[in-house]
C-alpha cells in the first residue's frame, strides 16, 4: 500500500541524488518525501567544518537543491541542534520515518544515536544505511576477530569479498508534500568567507554531483591509464582530484568502483588487473581510514600508539606560522603549503612531504598540522586526515617509521625534477635553474642574483637546517624508545 505520511530524508555527507539508498527507498514508496539538511557545526566540535569545507558545502547544498527541484522536490535547510530540528519537522509535517546514511566520525555517530533515541520516543522510526564506504567495518576482521591494523592485510581481505552492489540510479521524481515546511536559504547559513578569500577555490573547483560525475568520466578517459606512473608527480594533473567530491558524498566509492570496472572491461582487462589496480588500491586507503576511525575513534585527538603520548613535541609559534604560510625556505614545502592556501587542495606526495617537515624538521605536533589542514582543505575528512597525519608522524598503525625522515630537497628533486611545481607556486623562484630550484640556499649568490632572488628578501632563508633538525628528531625518538 502507498505510504501517505511523509518521510524525512536527512542529508549529511551524502549530497547527491544518485546511489542514495535513503532517497531512493523513500521515493520508491511513493508517499511524500521531505529532504532535510541541518547545519549544526557546534555538534561536530572541535571538528566542525573548517573555512574551505564551508565554502564547498555552500555550493554543494545549492547544487543539491537545484537537482532536487528538477526532480519535483526541494531541500529544506534548518540550523541548530539536529535532534530538535528533526523533532520540529516531525511535529510540523506528521512524518513517521527518518531515513539517512550512517557516518563513521565519532561525533556524527553519537548524533545518530541521539536521533534514534529521540525519534523512537516520538514513535518515529529511523532507518540508517551504510553506503559511504565500500565495506562494512564490522564485517572485516582478522582471523582472531580483531580489527586489521595493517593496510595490505586489510586490502587483501576486502578484495576477497564480493564486489560492492551496483550503484542505484537517481529517482526520476521525488514526490513532495502538499504543503512544504519552511526552510532557510543556503545564504542564511553564512558559509561563504567574509572577507572573500575564495577566488582560488572558485577558479579550481566546481562542487556538486554533476561536476563529480564529469570529473570521474574525464579521469577515466584521460588520466586513469597513466595513473600508476603519474600519481607521484605534483606538477601534473595525474590523480583524479575526486577527494572533495567523495568527502561530501557527491559521488560514492561504489560508483567509482563500478565506473572503473566498466571502463576496464571495455578495454578487455581481466578482473584481477583492474580490481588490484593502483587507483582502486588508493580508494581502499580511504576505506582503511574510515575503518580505523570506526574502530579507534579516539585517534582524532590521541596517537594510536599510546607510547607516543610522551613524545617531546616542540612549541614553536614562529615555525608553525612559517610552515602555514609557505615560508620555510624549503621550496617543495612552501609550494605545497601555498597550493593548499590558494586552491584548498594539495597533492598527496606533497602532503606527505609537508607533514614530515612539520613533525620531524620542526618537531611540532601532528595535531597542529591536522588542525591547519582541517581548516584549509576542501577535502578535509576526519578519517583520512587523522590517518594521514598519524601515518606521517609515525604514531599511527601501519605508519611510516619516525626514523624515516623525508629529505625536502631530495623529495623535490625526485618528484619535481625540473621544478615546474615549485615555479608555479613560488613564482619568486621561477628563474632559478633546475639544479638549484629545490635548494636555493646552497646556490652560488651570483647565480641567485641573476635569477632575481636574494634570500631573506625575496625568498626566506631555511627556518631550520634539515641535517641538524633530523638529528634532533631522531634523538627525541630515541628518548621515547628508551622510555626517558
Ligand atoms: P587519487 O590519487 O585520485 O585517489 C582517489 C581517491 O582515493 C581519493 O580521492 C581519496 O578518496 C582516496 N585516497 C587516495 N589516497 C589516499 C590516502 N593516502 N588516504 C586516504 N584516502 C586516499 N584525503 C582526504 O580525502 N581528506 C583529508 O583530509 C586528507 N588529509 C591528508 C593528510 C595527510 C597528512 C596526508 C599525507 C594525506 C591526506 N589525505 C586526505 C589523503 C590524500 O592525500 C588525498 O586523498 C588525495 O591527495 C586526494 O587526491 P585525489 O582525489 O586526486 O586522489
Annotated domain spans of the chain: 7-132, 133-168+208-295, 306-483
- Crossing angle, helix 366-376 and helix 331-343, to 10 degrees? 40
Q: Please give the pLDDT value at position 225.
A: 86
| ipTM at complex level | 0.99
Buried b (16+ CB within 10 A) or exposed e, 287-321: bbbbbbbbbbbebbeebbbeebeebebeebeebbe
Atom 35 (ligand 1): residue with closest C-alpha?
388
231 in ligand 1 pocket by Cβ < 6 Å? Answer: yes
The reported pLDDT for the residue numbered 203 is 98
pTM of the predicted protein model = 0.97
Domain 7-132 classification at class level: alpha beta
Fold identical between 7-132 and 306-483?
Answer: no
Answer for the pair 8, 95: CB distance below 8 angstroms, yes or no.
yes
Q: What angle do CA 11, 13, 17 make, to 5 degrees?
A: 60
Q: Check the annotation: does 380 bind a ligand.
A: yes
CA of 55 from ligand 1 middle (Å) equals 19
Residue 49: name the closest of 200, 244, 194, 199 by CA. Answer: 244
386 assigned ligand-binding residue: no
Residue 3: the pLDDT is 66
> Which neighbouring-strand residues pair with 9?
35, 99
Q: What is residue 2's predicted lDDT score, i.e. its pLDDT?
A: 62
Residue 306 DSSP class: G
Is there a catalytic annotation at residue 385? no
Question: Is 435 annotated in the active site?
Answer: no
For cell 641535517, the residue is: 467
Q: Does domain 306-483 have CATH number 1.10.579.10?
A: yes
Spans of the chain, pLDDT less than 70:
1-3, 484
Q: Please tell me whether 102 is known to bind a ligand.
A: no
Angle between helix 82-93 and 106-121 (nearest 10): 30
In terms of residues, how long is the chain? 484
Which neighbouring-strand residues pair with 99?
Answer: 9, 127
Task: Tell me whether residue 68 is annotated as binding.
Answer: no
Single out the catalytic residue among 345, 389, 391, 425.
389
Residues in contact with 119: Cβ distance below 8 Å, sequence separation at least 6, in sequence order: 86, 87, 90, 98, 125, 126
Q: Is 257 a residue of the active site? A: no
Instruction: Report whether residue 280 contacts ligand 1, using a CB cutoff of 6 Å.
Output: no
Grid coordinates standing for 355? Answer: 607533514
Whether residue 385 has its Cβ less than 6 Å from ligand 1: yes
Is the shortest distance between the CB of 59 and ligand 1 below 6 Å? no
Give tens-digit pLDDT for 240-290.
999 999 999 999 999 999 999 999 999 999 999 999 999 999 999 999 999
Catalytic entry in 366, 372, 374, 477: 366
Task: Please check whether residue 282 is in contact with residue 256, taking contact to mean a CB–CB distance below 8 angstroms.
Answer: no
Find the helix or strand (DSSP H, E) in which 98 lies: strand 97-101
Pocket test of ligand 1: the residue of 231, 388, 396 to mutate, having most ligand atoms within 8 Å of its CB, is 388
Known binder of ligand: residue 399? no
Closest CA to 454 of 418, 483, 429: 429
Q: Which of 282, 324, 358 to mutate to test the pocket of ligand 1 (most atoms within 8 A of CB)?
A: 282
Atom of ligand 1 nearest to the CA of 231: 2
Identify which of 286, 354, 375 to mutate to test ligand 1's pocket (most ligand atoms within 8 A of the CB).
Answer: 286
Distance 251 CA to ligand 1 centre (A): 15
**334 within 8 A of 426, measured Cβ to Cβ:** yes
- Check if 351 has its Cβ closer than 6 Å to any atom of ligand 1: yes
Q: Is 162 flagged in the annotation as binding?
A: no
What are the cell numbers at 309?
603520548
Please state, as a whole number, how many other Cβ atoms lie within 10 Å of the Cβ of residue 276.
13
Does 473 carry a binding-site annotation? no
pLDDT at 1: 53
**CATH fold group of domain 133-168+208-295:** 1.25.40
Contact 137, 295 (CB under 8 A): yes
Q: Where are the alpha helices (DSSP H) in 142-241?
A: 151-160, 199-204, 209-222, 227-230
Give yes or no for residue 246 CB within 6 A of ligand 1.
Answer: yes
Concerning whether 313 is annotated as a catalytic residue, the answer is yes
Does the annotation count 285 as an active-site position?
A: yes
Give Cβ neighbours of residue 483 (< 8 Å, ≥ 6 apart): none
Reply yes or no on whether 263 is catalytic: no
- 473/356 Cα distance (integer angstroms): 11
- Cα 387 to ligand 1 centroid, rounded to whole Å: 10
Q: What pLDDT, on the 0 to 100 scale, is given for residue 71?
A: 98
240 lines ligand 1 (CB under 6 A): yes
Amino acid at each position: 500500500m502507498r505510504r501517505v505520511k511523509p518521510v524525512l530524508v536527512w542529508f549529511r555527507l551524502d549530497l547527491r541524488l544518485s546511489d542514495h539508498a535513503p532517497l531512493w527507498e523513500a521515493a520508491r514508496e511513493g508517499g511524500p518525501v521531505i529532504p532535510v539538511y541541518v547545519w549544526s557545526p557546534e555538534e561536530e566540535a572541535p571538528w566542525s567544518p573548517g573555512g574551505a569545507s564551508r565554502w564547498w558545502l555552500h555550493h554543494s547544498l545549492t547544487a543539491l537543491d537545484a537537482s532536487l527541484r528538477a526532480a519535483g522536490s526541494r531541500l529544506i535547510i534548518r540550523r541548530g541542534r539536529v535532534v530538535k530540528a528533526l523533532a520540529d519537522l516531525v511535529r510540523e509535517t506528521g512524518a513517521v520515518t527518518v531515513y539517512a546514511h550512517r557516518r563513521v566520525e565519532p561525533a556524527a555517530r553519537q548524533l545518530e544515536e541521539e536521533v534514534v533515541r529521540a525519534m523512537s520516543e516520538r514513535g518515529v522510526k529511523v532507518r540508517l544505511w551504510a553506503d559511504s564506504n565500500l565495506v562494512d567495518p564490522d564485517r572485516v576482521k582478522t582471523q582472531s576477530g580483531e580489527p586489521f591494523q595493517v593496510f595490505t592485510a586489510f586490502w587483501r581481505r576486502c578484495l576477497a569479498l564480493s564486489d560492492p552492489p551496483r550503484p542505484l540510479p537517481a529517482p526520476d521524481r521525488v514526490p513532495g508534500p502538499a504543503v512544504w515546511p519552511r526552510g532557510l536559504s543556503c545564504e542564511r547559513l553564512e558559509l561563504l568567507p567574509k572577507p572573500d578569500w575564495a577566488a582560488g577555490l572558485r577558479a579550481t573547483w566546481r562542487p556538486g554531483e554533476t561536476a563529480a560525475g564529469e570529473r570521474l568520466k574525464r579521469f577515466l578517459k584521460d588520466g586513469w591509464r597513466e595513473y600508476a606512473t603519474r600519481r607521484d608527480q605534483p606538477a601534473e594533473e595525474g590523480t583524479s582530484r575526486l577527494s572533495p567530491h567523495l568527502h561530501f558524498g557527491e559521488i560514492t566509492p561504489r560508483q567509482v568502483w563500478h565506473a572503473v570496472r566498466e571502463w576496464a572491461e571495455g578495454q578487455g582487462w581481466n578482473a584481477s588487473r583492474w580490481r588490484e589496480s593502483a587507483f582502486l588500491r588508493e580508494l581502499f586507503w580511504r576505506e582503511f581510514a574510515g575503518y580505523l576511525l570506526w574502530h579507534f575513534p579516539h585517534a582524532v585527538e590521541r596517537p594510536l600508539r599510546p607510547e607516543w603520548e610522551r613524545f617531546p613535541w616542540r612549541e614553536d609559534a614562529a615555525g608553525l606560522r612559517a610552515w602555514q604560510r609557505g615560508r620555510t625556505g624549503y621550496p617543495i614545502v612552501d609550494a605545497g603549503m601555498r597550493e593548499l592556501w590558494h586552491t584548498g587542495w594539495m597533492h598527496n606526495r606533497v602532503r606527505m612531504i609537508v607533514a614530515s617537515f612539520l613533525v620531524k624538521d620542526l618537531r611540532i605536533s601532528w595535531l597542529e598540522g591536522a588542525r591547519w589542514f582541517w581548516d584549509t582543505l576542501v577535502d578535509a575528512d576526519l578519517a583520512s586526515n587523522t590517518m594521514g597525519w598519524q601515518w606521517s608522524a609515525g604514531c599511527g598503525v601501519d605508519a611510516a617509521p619516525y626514523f624515516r625522515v623525508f629529505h625536502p630537497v631530495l623529495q623535490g628533486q625526485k618528484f619535481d625534477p625540473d621544478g615546474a611545481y615549485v615555479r608555479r607556486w613560488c613564482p619568486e623562484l621561477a628563474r632559478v635553474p633546475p639544479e638549484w630550484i629545490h635548494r636555493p640556499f646552497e646556490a652560488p649568490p651570483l647565480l641567485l642574483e641573476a635569477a632575481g632572488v636574494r634570500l631573506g628578501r625575496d625568498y626566506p632563508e631555511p627556518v631550520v637546517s634539515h641535517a641538524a633538525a633530523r638529528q634532533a628528531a631522531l634523538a627525541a625518538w630515541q628518548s621515547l624508545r628508551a622510555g626517558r
